[in-house]
């Protein structure tokens, strides 16, 4: 049996939506038919590196993406060392255009761009230099991609243009996650104790890196309003990132230290969702899809989300509640408490069953991806 050699191009393999999905793919794919390696932009150790290496995959640092000539030299040198590859699958949005140009030059026959985000709102406000960059890289994607994937319709339009459906190369591939881990009840008492959460606390949960996109500052405002109405409220923040220090400062200045828990990066997000959170709040400025929202629904959590999150991400209609970011924090607080205090029309087991039957099941998603790789 011929093994297909696939090179995934990512920034690094730390815990994030794209990387988590890629790990679901790596763990569940037929490794006798597919060999997956990872081209990254750093030499620093990342969260998933050890597991990737344990599966027999390689982590290949290709440095200096901000210096195109250096990057091209490194890319071609590394390809001579580690190649050849049958497929390159690039996950770095617009910069994928340059990567696929280089892939064409070294002779990789199948070249896949993958859009994981909807950046249309910020792209519309870009300066001239940024617009020139976007125009060039998008041109390269259209010229050198043999296939373009996207995690939602909004993500597809963001990278491939509003007329993306007219080009048969561009298609949707929904994230799939391994749902078997959600089929076990978490020990809520133990998990809350480990995180320092009182047994009778009302816990608002959020999972995401500390970046402007995730809108943590507004989330703090929302929680401050909820506390006025429910004093036993605590906010549980899972993740890390460049803006964490700024958010910690805001929490301190708002005198909310006793109400906010910074849990850092965690490998057991599903257990934390099931055992510690009462509601999931996701006020992002923009999202390609929002993989953690799929995980929240698999956990049976009511989810209060911004109206910028793609509609495809709401799998369990009884759990997803959209609110406009134009609404004040007080309005979000009222909706959160109303939703939580209203008797749920669906059990966690029923929610999990609906997610299992959806395209977001890893077995469904992976089947589609493997078909694409074998075409």
Query: pLDDT for 194-225, tens place per residue?
Result: 999 999 999 999 999 999 999 999 999 999 99
pLDDT of residue 344: 84
First CA to last CA distance, the chain? 15
Number of domains in the chain: 2
pLDDT digits over 267-283, tens only?
999 999 999 999 999 99
The mean of the pLDDT values for the chain is 96
C-alpha to C-alpha distance for 69 and 370, rounded to whole angstroms: 33
CATH value at residue 264? 3.40.50.2000
Host domain of residue 162: 4-176+359-374
Instruction: Based on the fold, state whether residues 46 and 157 are members of the same structural domain.
Output: yes
Instruction: Based on the fold, state whether residues 92 and 230 are members of the same structural domain.
Output: no
The three-class DSSP label of residue 331 is helix
On whether the CB atoms of residues 52 and 59 are closer than 8 A, the answer is: yes
pTM of structure: 0.93
The three-class DSSP label of residue 251 is helix
Instruction: Based on the fold, state whether residues 20 and 92 are members of the same structural domain.
Output: yes
Instruction: Based on the fold, state whether residues 195 and 92 are members of the same structural domain.
Output: no
The three-class DSSP label of residue 6 is strand
Instruction: Based on the fold, state whether residues 129 and 208 are members of the same structural domain.
Output: no
Instruction: Based on the fold, state whether residues 148 and 83 are members of the same structural domain.
Output: yes
| Contacting residues for 31 by C-beta, under 8 A, at least 6 apart | 55, 56
Whether residue 183 is predicted with pLDDT greater than 90 in this model: the reply is no
Reduce the secondary structure of 200-252 to three states and give it as a string.
CCEEEEEECCCCHHHCHHHHHHHHHHHHHHCCCEEEEEECCCCCHHHHHHHHH
C-alpha to C-alpha distance for 212 and 269, rounded to whole angstroms: 21
How much is the average pLDDT of 213-240?
98
């Amino acid at each position: 049996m011929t093994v297909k050699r696939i090179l995934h191009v990512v920034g690094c393999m730390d815990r994030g939506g794209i990387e988590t999905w890629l790990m679901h793919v790596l763990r569940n794919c037929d490794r006798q038919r597919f060999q997956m390696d990872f081209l990254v932009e750093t030499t620093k150790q990342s969260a998933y590196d050890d597991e990737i290496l344990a599966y027999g995959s390689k982590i290949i640092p290709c440095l200096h993406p901000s210096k195109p000539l250096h990057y091209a030299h490194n890319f071609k040198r590394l390809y001579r060392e580690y190649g050849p590859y049958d497929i390159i699958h690039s996950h770095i949005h617009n910069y994928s255009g340059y990567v696929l140009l280089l892939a064409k030059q070294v002779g990789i026959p199948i070249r896949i761009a993958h859009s994981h985000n909807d950046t249309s709102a910020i792209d519309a406000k870009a300066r001239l230099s940024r617009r020139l960059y976007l125009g060039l890289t998008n041109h390269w994607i259209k010229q050198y991609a043999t296939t373009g994937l996207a995690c939602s319709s909004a993500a597809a339009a963001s990278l491939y243009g509003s007329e993306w459906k007219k080009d048969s190369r561009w298609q949707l591939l929904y994230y799939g996650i391994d749902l078997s881990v959600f089929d076990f009840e978490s020990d809520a008492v133990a998990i809350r104790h480990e995180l320092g959460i009182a047994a009778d606390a009302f816990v608002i949960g959020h999972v995401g890196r500390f970046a402007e996109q995730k809108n943590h500052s507004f989330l703090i405002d929302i929680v401050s309003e909820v506390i006025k109405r429910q004093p036993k409220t605590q906010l549980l923040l899972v993740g890390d990132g460049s803006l964490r220090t700024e958010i910690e400062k805001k929490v301190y200045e708002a005198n909310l230290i006793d109400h906010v828990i910074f849990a850092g990066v965690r490998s057991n997000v599903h257990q934390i969702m099931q055992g510690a959170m009462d509601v999931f709040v996701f006020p992002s400025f923009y999202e390609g899809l929002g993989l953690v929202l799929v995980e929240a629904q698999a956990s049976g959590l009511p989810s209060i989300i911004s109206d910028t999150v793609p509609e495809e991400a709401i799998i369990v209609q009884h759990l997803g509640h959209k609110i406009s970011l134009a609404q004040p924090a007080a309005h979000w607080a009222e909706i959160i408490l109303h939703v939580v205090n209203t008797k749920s029309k669906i059990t966690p087991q029923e929610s999990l069953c609906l997610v299992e039957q959806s395209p977001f099941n890893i077995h469904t998603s992976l089947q589609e991806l493997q078909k694409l790789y074998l075409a």
